[in-house]
């Protein structure tokens, strides 16, 4: 999830940047564990994640699991739409990939692009490369597509004909580009860039530089970004404060004020079209049969909490050169433009969406029940408790998910 903000050297007196990077790297572990738990109880199928991430014994809240389900489904459908438009003659750059398994999933579905790149902090990449090399289930699919018997690379990099993973810092664009080119990145190919909770950990200037670099490097491209949104309200401020307590500063929260500000960061940095949707809206548009299936897995008694969580995350996608993908740019700019392929099968999945709408989300005050009753005096902004925000007092069960 977070990216190349993860370059860490362990000194006895780390700098503030190094400390922040360590906190960001921790979000990779948190997100991977949450995904692993959701997979383990049937939210979606991923036979590869277990080889990268341990299964946490502690149950995750239903709203957390549904949030990750919507996130995975939304990004997956956008990726498949791009692959369908390009007939897989393209490349994908997953920036801040963490323990993501999309490459292996796409191979199983016969939907691999010409080449799939992953980039993350060297520390994260070292761990992932070790898992790949030591597990045949992970290395065999890569070798099957490779022209040689062994994979090239070292602890911070691995390269093959169709897959590459690179340890780099997204804030250092010259070095990033150099490493990508060494792994045969082709700027002439239609290119899909994906970031999940990555830009928010970079300063606005750093993320703008990355977005501008992507726009100038590829003539035909799409950028998918999963990020926080509506961070100016009280719930958003609590999220920010909680992450700061974990030495994880949201340095790039400024563009996360609204859907409009999320789109503007792309439009002002070289992209021709941009669309955005909060995750509650996206969730309401997922195929109803699949939503009904996952909602039957766990009982959720606090719909308002789900709505509150989902309205603070969004999916944004931007394009340039869209006419060369077989559609005019305006088609991408409209809400869910890439999904105008109704009835078209991509890898066995229909790109159709339910039009059912959920009621508008309500945002209740995040006050402590014990405080309201005069039984507690401490504010309801405590340290995280097992991935949640909770009251310092013991007479209240206020728990708000971090991610």
Angle at 275 between CA 273 and CA 276, to 5 degrees: 155
Integer Cα distance of 126 and 139 in angstroms: 15
User: Is there a single domain that holds both residue 370 and residue 355?
Assistant: no
Domain check: are 163 and 82 in the same one? Answer: yes
Does residue 1 fall inside a structural domain?
no
Do residue 36 and residue 162 come from a single domain?
yes
At residue 67, the pLDDT reads: 98
Q: Are residues 374 and 354 in the same domain?
A: no
Q: Is 60 exposed, middle or buried (0-12, 13-18, 19+ CB in 10 A)?
A: buried
Question: Does 4 map to a domain?
Answer: no
For position 121, what pLDDT does the model report? 96
379 and 355 in a common domain: no
Residue 326 has what pLDDT? 55
Q: Show the tokens assigned to 165.
A: 């993973």
Locate all alpha helices (DSSP H) within 200-287, ordered by sequence.
204-217, 234-245, 259-267, 279-285
Burial class of residue 44 (count of CB atoms within 10 Å of its CB; 0-12, 13-18, 19+): middle
Model pLDDT, residue 27? 78
Give the residues of the chain that fall short of pLDDT 70. 1-20, 149-150, 324-403
Digit-coded pLDDT (tens) for 151-210: 777 778 999 999 999 999 999 999 999 999 999 999 999 999 999 999 999 999 999 999
Domain count, the chain: 2
Q: What is the pLDDT of residue 216?
A: 98
CB 30 within 8 A of CB 387: yes
For residues 402 and 327, state if they share a domain: no
The conformation of residue 232, written as its DSSP 8-state character, comes to T
CATH number of the domain where residue 148 is located: 3.40.50.150
| Helix axes of 259-267 and 204-217: crossing angle, nearest 10 degrees | 50
Q: Around 82, how many Cα atoms within 13 Å sit in the side-chain half-sphere?
A: 31
Do 237 and 129 share a domain, yes or no?
A: yes
Q: Would 306 be classed as within a structural domain?
A: yes
How far apart (Å, rounded) are the C-alpha atoms in residues 6 and 22?
7
Q: What pLDDT is attached to residue 125?
A: 97
Q: Do residues 185 and 51 both lie within one domain? A: yes
Same domain, 101 and 124: yes
Indicate whether 9 belongs to any domain: no
> Which residues form the domain of 308?
16-361
Same domain (yes/no): 346, 264: yes
Look at residue 318 and tell me if it is in a domain: yes
Retrieve residue 391's tokens: 């009251």
DSSP characters for 357-383? -PPPP-------HHHHTTS--S-S---
Per cent of the chain over pLDDT 90 is 65
Are 399 and 318 members of one domain? no
Domain assignment present for 144:
yes
Q: Is the residue at 339 inside a domain?
A: yes
**The pLDDT of residue 76:** 97
Is the residue at 5 inside a domain? no
- Residues 207, 88, single domain; the answer is yes
How much is the pLDDT for 324?
67
């Amino acid at each position: 999830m977070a990216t190349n903000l993860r370059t860490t050297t362990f000194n006895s007196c780390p700098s503030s940047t190094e400390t922040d990077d360590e906190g960001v790297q921790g979000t990779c572990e948190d997100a991977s564990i949450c995904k692993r738990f959701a997979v383990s109880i049937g939210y979606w199928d991923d036979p590869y994640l277990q080889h990268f991430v341990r299964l946490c014994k502690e149950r995750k809240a239903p709203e957390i699991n549904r949030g990750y389900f919507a996130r995975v489904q939304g990004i997956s459908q956008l990726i498949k739409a791009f692959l369908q438009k390009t007939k897989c003659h393209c490349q994908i750059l997953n920036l801040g990939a963490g323990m993501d398994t999309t490459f292996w999933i796409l191979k199983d579905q016969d939907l691999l692009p010409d080449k799939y790149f992953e980039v993350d902090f060297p520390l994260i990449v070292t761990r992932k490369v070790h898992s790949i090399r030591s597990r045949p289930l992970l290395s065999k699919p890569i070798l099957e597509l490779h022209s040689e018997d062994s994979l090239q690379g070292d602890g911070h990099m691995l390269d093959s004909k169709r897959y590459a993973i690179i340890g780099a810092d997204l804030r250092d664009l010259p070095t990033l580009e150099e490493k990508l080119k060494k792994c045969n990145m082709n700027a002439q190919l239609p290119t899909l860039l994906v970031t999940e909770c990555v830009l928010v950990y970079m300063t606005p200037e750093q993320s703008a530089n990355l977005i501008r670099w992507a726009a100038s490097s590829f003539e035909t491209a799409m950028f998918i970004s999963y990020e926080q949104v509506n961070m100016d309200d009280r719930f958003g401020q609590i999220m920010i404060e909680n992450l700061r307590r974990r030495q994880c500063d949201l340095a790039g929260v400024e563009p996360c004020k609204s859907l409009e500000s999320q789109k503007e960061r792309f439009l002002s940095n070289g992209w021709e079209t941009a669309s955005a949707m909060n995750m509650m809206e996206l969730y309401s548009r997922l195929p109803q049969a699949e939503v009904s299936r996952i909602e039957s897995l766990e009982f959720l008694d606090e719909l308002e909490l789900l709505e509150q969580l989902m309205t603070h995350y969004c999916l944004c996608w931007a394009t340039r050169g869209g006419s060369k993908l077989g559609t005019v740019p305006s088609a991408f700019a409209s809400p869910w433009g890439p999904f105008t392929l109704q009835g078209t099968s991509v890898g066995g999945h229909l790109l159709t969406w339910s039009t059912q709408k959920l009621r508008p989300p309500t945002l209740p005050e995040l006050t402590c029940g014990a405080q309201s009753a005069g039984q507690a005096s401490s504010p309801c902004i405590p340290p995280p408790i097992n991935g949640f925000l909770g009251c310092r007092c013991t007479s209240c069960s206020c728990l708000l998910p971090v991610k």
